[in-house]
Amino acid sequence: MQLRIPGPTPCPPQALQAMSRQMINHRGEEFDKIIKSVTGKLKQVFQTEGDVFVLTASGTGGLEAAIVNTLSPGDKVLSTSNGVFGDRFADIAVQYGAEVTRLDTEWGRQVDLDAVDKALGVDSDIKAVLVTHNETSTGVTNNLAGISAIVEKFDKLLLVDAVSSLSCINLPADDWHCDVVVTGSQKGWMIPPGLAMVGVSEKAWQAHAQAKMSRFYWDFAKARDYLKIGQTPWTPAVSNFYALDATLDLMLNEGLANIFARHARVAQIARDGVKSLGLSLFPEEDCASNTVTAVNVFDKIDVPKLIQILRDEHDVVIAGGQRKLSGQIFRIGHLGLVYEEDIELVLEALSKVLPQARR
Amino acid sequence: MQLRIPGPTPCPPQALQAMSRQMINHRGEEFDKIIKSVTGKLKQVFQTEGDVFVLTASGTGGLEAAIVNTLSPGDKVLSTSNGVFGDRFADIAVQYGAEVTRLDTEWGRQVDLDAVDKALGVDSDIKAVLVTHNETSTGVTNNLAGISAIVEKFDKLLLVDAVSSLSCINLPADDWHCDVVVTGSQKGWMIPPGLAMVGVSEKAWQAHAQAKMSRFYWDFAKARDYLKIGQTPWTPAVSNFYALDATLDLMLNEGLANIFARHARVAQIARDGVKSLGLSLFPEEDCASNTVTAVNVFDKIDVPKLIQILRDEHDVVIAGGQRKLSGQIFRIGHLGLVYEEDIELVLEALSKVLPQARR
């Protein structure tokens, strides 16, 4: 099967074999070795010398952790959403009592740097800025380097949803002053869902010391204390740790630059391919993502039918649109374990099925 | 290896094979079938006609979910702790702003029913009672049936940590008026950690409608809405779902009564065995748990040394004591995939190693 949704992504045999390993004591020597190995390698991919913690949760749990570890109820937060996941990040902050200013960008466009600069200039009380590096719902990659420079200029906290970008698209967490950066195991990391990985800067720790939002399961301080003794505060998803240890080796052997280049090549094939089929990209092309391609159907294609025929007759699994984009777009995931020939196969299947799914 | 800690527990081959299955679309038809199959079977083991949700988290996340879904800051809560996990449950409530009355019981004894009755009689404002059905840190099983009758009499919410009891020790959630009951995948369920399963009563839903604690990831309403369409709100730990689907079949084939009887037999062998080795139980015997046996060493045994020799020379992994019981007790887990011969093997190894670990 070609599983080409934007996560869960296909797992290589090394990951699946690791997933089937028998359990061990999560407070013993063997797990100590694994968590230290995994954490060290994660830091290389995060391009950080700060802390990296692995939480047993999905990516959304990591986003919640980013909020509750750095903020207090009543804190002002600037949300820079341009899609479903940006909205979710802001909603979490609202749920925990933050005062959220929503700088919403039209879906399919990238967040405008001048607008961020202006919003931060207007309200000096804003404490943190929420950014979705790669907006999975629209196939847009935001200019995180540009945004981070502005956030740095105003000396605000930068909280980054990198769930579907980190390890696929360059994201040097330290160079870009990311204070909390969140990713999820079922994306570029090529293992099953179950883990959220979070990078935490020194400035985030300073915020943590003041932050008064309720937190227990997500508390970074507990994660830090237990990591020192080679453990997690709560029983970890041991199997996913085994698998992550294996895929991190694959990734570091390939090399970050090569991984980023591969994702760029594959994405270009996807974009060129859908255009050659007479379709158009949903996002503006200059911000189109290297991990997920969102394709406009302008009511000409029955998206559920397209998805079903692709799956039933061609063993190709793609995703539809979310929320207001339901029925309006389809999405091809190309992150993690993906090569040129995989996307060529998807495009070939699409070329056959599109005529059958026309309205 | 004999992994005889109180979780993670050994996984049967069916679970490990399931863990190695390739990923699927977690918002597609196949996952819909799996989550409905798993949920239906879980309800049988929970002995409930209420809701059961599967959260991607460890058991502690499930405890946090029980608190934040039913309570508001300032609500009065009665904690009936007699160990590490009871204290943790209370600490979570405190973190989220509940006003917690701590009815602490000496570790190793069970919660006294008269004391619960008295505490609820004294303060009519108490809204919820926290109970740890099986206190893993001390090897005590509390009289949940007795406590639940009192809580029912006073018409309070009953929030139950059943992480290390449910599926091993009889816990009819509906008959015992449990409003939220929490368990974890790496215990009696015989699969790796990564999932918390929670049962939710109608009365808990009424509390949920009023509850004002901040919640997003843990929100039962989101879990309910997505379960209706065969999904989870956030990407689930798909592999653990595969495995749980498989072990639930094993469990239902064996039959609940047979599972409970097997745990009782195995626990009796453990208790008799350690006593025949000249050791004594840490808990009072009438409340000694059928899933974990805690053994007093009275400073006569070097517990870390005992654990290390057992592991290195006999391939038997047991646990030490937690917090103030560190060095004072060791614990043998016997839950999930465990038979008489497993514990006999542990006892035989103990008989050899105890003389080497004497102080």
Mean pLDDT by 10 residues, chain B (359 residues): 97 98 97 98 98 98 98 98 98 98 98 98 98 98 98 98 98 98 98 98 98 98 98 98 98 98 98 97 98 95 97 98 96 98 98 96
The predicted pLDDT at position A279 comes to 96
- Rg over alpha carbons for chain B, rounded to the nearest Å, is 20
The predicted pLDDT at position B280 comes to 97
Sign for the pseudo-dihedral over CA of A204, A208, A211, A214: positive
Give average pLDDT by consecutive 10-residue segment, chain A, 359 residues: 97 98 97 98 98 98 98 98 98 98 98 98 98 98 98 98 98 98 98 98 98 98 98 98 98 98 98 97 98 95 97 98 96 98 98 96
Contact B234, A58 (CB under 8 A): yes
What whole-number distance in Å separates Cα of residue B270 and Cα of residue B341?
11
b (16+ CB within 10 A) / e for B280-297: ebbbeeebbbbbbbbbbb
Contact B62, B162 (CB under 8 A): no
Report helix, strand or coil for A357: helix
What whole-number distance in Å separates Cα of residue A27 and Cα of residue A272?
50
Q: Quick check: B58 contacting A, CB < 8 Å?
A: yes
How is domain A13-253 classified at the CATH fold level?
Aspartate Aminotransferase; domain 2 (3.40.640)
The full set of domain ranges for chain B reads 15-253, 256-357
User: Which chain B residue has the Cα nearest residue A187?
Assistant: B235
Of the candidates A46, A335, A23, the residue with the CA atom closest to the CA atom of residue A186: A335
Instruction: Map tokens 């719902």 to a residue.
Output: A137
Contact B319 A19 (CB under 8 A): no
The predicted pLDDT at position A299 comes to 87
**Mutant choice from A14, A58, A231 vs B, greatest count of B C-beta within 10 A:** A58
Of the candidates B187, B169, B162, B164, the residue with the CA atom closest to the CA atom of residue B336: B187
CATH number of B15-253: 3.40.640.10
What whole-number distance in Å separates Cα of residue B138 and Cα of residue B321?
8
What whole-number distance in Å separates Cα of residue B135 and Cα of residue B263?
16
The predicted pLDDT at position A307 comes to 97
What ranges in B130-255 are assigned the alpha helix state H?
A: 144-153, 202-210, 220-228, 238-254
Contact B161, B182 (CB under 8 A): yes
User: Measured between CA atoms, how close is B269 to chain A, in angstroms?
Assistant: 23
Identical fold between B15-253 and B256-357: no
The predicted pLDDT at position B299 comes to 87
Residues with Cβ within 8 Å of residue B278, at least 6 apart in sequence: none
Q: Indicate the residue of B3, B27, B194 with minimum beta-carbon distance to A237.
A: B194
What is the value of ipTM here, to two decimals?
Answer: 0.98
The predicted pLDDT at position A298 comes to 87
Instruction: Map tokens 């309403």 to a residue.
Output: B221
For the full predicted model, state whether its pTM sits above 0.95: yes
**Mutant choice from B63, B212, B216 vs A, greatest count of A C-beta within 10 A:** B216
Q: What is the DSSP string of B123-149?
A: -TTEEEEEEESEETTTTEE--HHHHHH
CATH number of A256-357: 3.90.1150.10
Cis peptide before B6 (omega within 30 of 0): no
What whole-number distance in Å separates Cα of residue A352 and Cα of residue A8?
25
Contact B61 A56 (CB under 8 A): yes
Q: Quick check: B205 contacting A, CB < 8 Å?
A: no
| A10 chain-B contacts, CB cut-off 8 A | 22-23
What whole-number distance in Å separates Cα of residue A47 and Cα of residue A241?
20
DSSP B354: G
Q: Which residues pair with A101 in a beta bridge?
A: A78
User: Measured between CA atoms, how close is B298 to chain A, in angstroms?
Assistant: 23
Q: What angle do CA A269, A272, A274 make, to 5 degrees?
A: 105
Q: End-to-end alpha-carbon separation of chain B, Å?
A: 27
| B1 chain-A contacts, CB cut-off 8 A | 22
Contact B8 A23 (CB under 8 A): yes
The predicted pLDDT at position B357 comes to 97
Contact B16 A22 (CB under 8 A): yes
Of the candidates A256, A286, A291, A254, the residue with the CA atom closest to the CA atom of residue A270: A291
Contact B239 A192 (CB under 8 A): yes
Sign for the pseudo-dihedral over CA of A224, A228, A233, A239: positive
Q: Indicate the residue of B7, B26, B192 with minimum beta-carbon distance to A237.
A: B192
Q: Quick check: B57 contacting A, CB < 8 Å?
A: yes
Q: Quick check: B230 contacting A, CB < 8 Å?
A: no
Report the percent of chain B where pLDDT is more than 70: 100
Q: Quick check: B174 contacting A, CB < 8 Å?
A: no
| B22 chain-A contacts, CB cut-off 8 A | 1, 3, 10-11, 16
Contact A235 B17 (CB under 8 A): no
- Report residue B338 as tokens: 């465990």
**Mutant choice from A2, A226, A234, A292 vs B, greatest count of B C-beta within 10 A:** A234
b (16+ CB within 10 A) / e for A180-200: bbbbbbbbbbbbbbbbbbbbb
Sheet strands (E) in chain B: 2-3, 51-56, 76-79, 99-102, 126-132, 134-135, 140-141, 157-161, 180-184, 195-200, 280-281, 292-296, 316-317, 319-320, 329-333
**Mutant choice from B20, B32, B307, B338 vs A, greatest count of A C-beta within 10 A:** B20
Contact B19 A239 (CB under 8 A): yes
DSSP A287: G
Contact A234 B311 (CB under 8 A): no
Q: Indicate the residue of B95, B193, B319 with minimum beta-carbon distance to A237.
A: B193
Q: Quick check: A17 contacting B, CB < 8 Å?
A: yes
What's the full length of chain A, in residues? 359
User: Measured between CA atoms, how close is A38 to chain B, in angstroms?
Assistant: 17
